[in-house]
Structure 1
Amino acid sequence: MSEPAVSVLCETVCELGEGPSYEAETQTLYWFDIVASRLHSLHLASHETNVLELPFLASAIARVDDEKQLFVTEHGLHLRNRQSGEWEVLCAAEEDNPQTRSNDARVHPSGAIWFGTMGKNAEDEAGAIYWYRAGELRQLYPRITIPNSICFSPDGAIAYFADTRSNRMYRVACNPDTGLPVDEPILTVEGNEMVGGIDGSVCDAEGTVWNARWGGARLDAWSPDGQFLRSVTIPARQATCPVFIGDNAERLAVTSAAAGLDEAARGADPEAGKLFLIDMPVNGRLDPAVVV
């Protein structure tokens, strides 16, 4: 299998580039620099970029409708008016715990959203994974150190998630109509014998899970039952999360991070923190709007 070309899609360097999301309605790719409290955006047709300074740490964005967007933040879920820029609290989560922040998130086909929290210094088991839909919030999995790889099968019957600290990815059966788990999680990928940690993931229309490997400079593809399929080299050691982009979700972009690299390490990893495009057709999927 030939190695696809990977190019820089945006030269902006993020300390912790994460949470990429593509909105087909506006042809806009969003991603966060979590520790800098910034939301970056790239309009694919014009290649125009913008930066929004945020009033808090945030890690994920989702479409609500033409008027509002949902942000996953260190205080819970917030809504932002696209035109006025005004914020409103949708649902508080760990707002009384200044030691934690949000991390990975994904919208389920039902319109529910799963999102994770973690210690700001990655303290052991300080975080959790939550489910939210239509005004209801539930904690699904407590004692998570670094929640990642939240994604869903095309029919919504399977959810995936990982704890990067333990380097294990799990799958769990879900109710397709609500996105709530209906069984216990099953260990699907054991990553401890591989270079790097299991970070963000997306699931394509064929059920393949594409996972960014933090510290491994690559994007891995896994079958639904955890069989390794292929790997794509990413020109930054700390790849963080992939996203399907394009009107038909036919391409993959990948965020990365420069966090934790000293001067020598940055010299050896000059593309760290940039956004990349993989020149390889994929059968991707666009995330639905979240039901608030």
Structure 2
Amino acid sequence: MTEQVPTSVLSAEHCHLGEGPTYDVTTDTAWWFDIREGRLYEAHLGRGDIRVHALGRMASALGRIDAERQLIVAEDGLYIRALADGAMTLYRPLEADNPGTRSNDARVHQSGTFWIGTMGLKAEAGAGAIYALHRGKISTLFPGVSIPNSICFSPDGAIGYFADTARHVLYRVPLNPATGLPRGEPEVLVRHTGVGGLDGSVVDADGLIWNARWGGACVDVYSPEGERLRSLAVPARQSSCPAFVGPDLSRLLVTSAWQDMDAAARAADPQAGCTFILEAAARGRAEPDVKLE
């Protein structure tokens, strides 16, 4: 059964492909992207202010470097973005020589290592990969991924999770907690069946995995053993990625999208692409900063 929890609309702007939410607890600010339109959204939750920044390229995720800088994951590389004026400086190219791919899901490990997924522009089979930015160097972790999603980590940093949405599989892989790098091979944790597909995920303080189910209008909560414990309703069918927000990290921000929906489908799903806040009573965790060197 899908739970109905108190839900509000944070942003009524309809993102083409809303993705990559994160939250800076030090400033009470949530960030997310419209990948297809090259936009970065900034929302101060306490004040209710929302700003939209045009990036000039497709981008999908960010990590906080420090109080003045962010690392933006974009279609052709990683960019350092200055908060003061939005200036972007290329830090490392990533698949810049392949115009057929773009960035997708990404998240920072507790060690400061940044896992980054790429995929084909038309989700071509095996066209993407998952990389790690560790101490300034990018290495390939898992090649041949079609739609990388659900990159997240256990509270102790010893387990990494990722999904290939096209394969309907959520994997777990043992990690070195000090580096965020694999020390074993991925194993299947969840093999999704039924409506929708595995999209973005985040792990709470108890190790539970909160997964936005694309096409399922919900966020599913899984145990570390892969058992589905809860499903929370989202008022848009293509829910895409969650993030814990609020001073106590108990609320859940969820992005959504209208991508690939025709006029009839959008009329039937009037909040497609909006960004929501669910009163989830979660025990969330703050996102770590990314370390460049």
CA contact (8 A) 2:250 2:279 kept: no
Residue matched to 1:273: 273
Residue matched to 1:241: 241
CA contact (8 A) 2:216 2:238 kept: yes
Residue matched to 2:52: 51
1:1-80 correspondence to structure 2 within 5 Å: 3-80=4-81
Counterpart-to-counterpart distance in 2, 1:61 and 1:50: 16
1:128-147 correspondence to structure 2 within 5 Å: 128-147=129-148
SS of corresponding position for 2:266 = helix
Q: Which amino acid aligns with 1:58?
A: A
Aligned-pair CA distance for 1:47: 0.4
Q: Which amino acid aligns with 1:46?
A: R
Is residue 288 from structure 1 mapped to residue 285 from structure 2 by the alignment?
no
Counterpart-to-counterpart distance in 2, 1:258 and 1:85: 27
Residue matched to 1:206: 206
CA contact (8 A) 2:79 2:91 kept: yes
Using the size of structure 2 for normalisation, the TM-score is 0.97
Cα displacement string for residues 62-85 of structure 1 (whole angstroms, at most 9, x for unaligned residues): 110122110001112110112233
SS of corresponding position for 2:79 = strand
1:166-245 correspondence to structure 2 within 5 Å: 166-191=167-192, 193-245=193-245
Counterpart-to-counterpart distance in 2, 1:84 and 1:12: 23
Counterpart-to-counterpart distance in 2, 1:20 and 1:208: 18
Q: Which amino acid aligns with 1:264?
A: A
Aligned-pair CA distance for 1:211: 0.2
SS of corresponding position for 2:183 = coil
Residue matched to 2:125: 124
Counterpart-to-counterpart distance in 2, 1:248 and 1:218: 22
Count residues with an aligned counterpart. Answer: 291
Cα displacement string for residues 96-147 of structure 1 (whole angstroms, at most 9, x for unaligned residues): 0000000000000001110100001111110000001221111000000100
Counterpart-to-counterpart distance in 2, 1:16 and 1:86: 23
Q: Which 4+ stretches in 1 moved above 4 angstroms?
A: none
Counterpart-to-counterpart distance in 2, 1:85 and 1:10: 21
Counterpart-to-counterpart distance in 1, 2:30 and 2:68: 17
1:99-118 correspondence to structure 2 within 5 Å: 99-118=100-119
- Percent same amino acid at aligned positions? 52
Counterpart-to-counterpart distance in 2, 1:148 and 1:85: 27
Aligned-pair CA distance for 1:86: 2.3
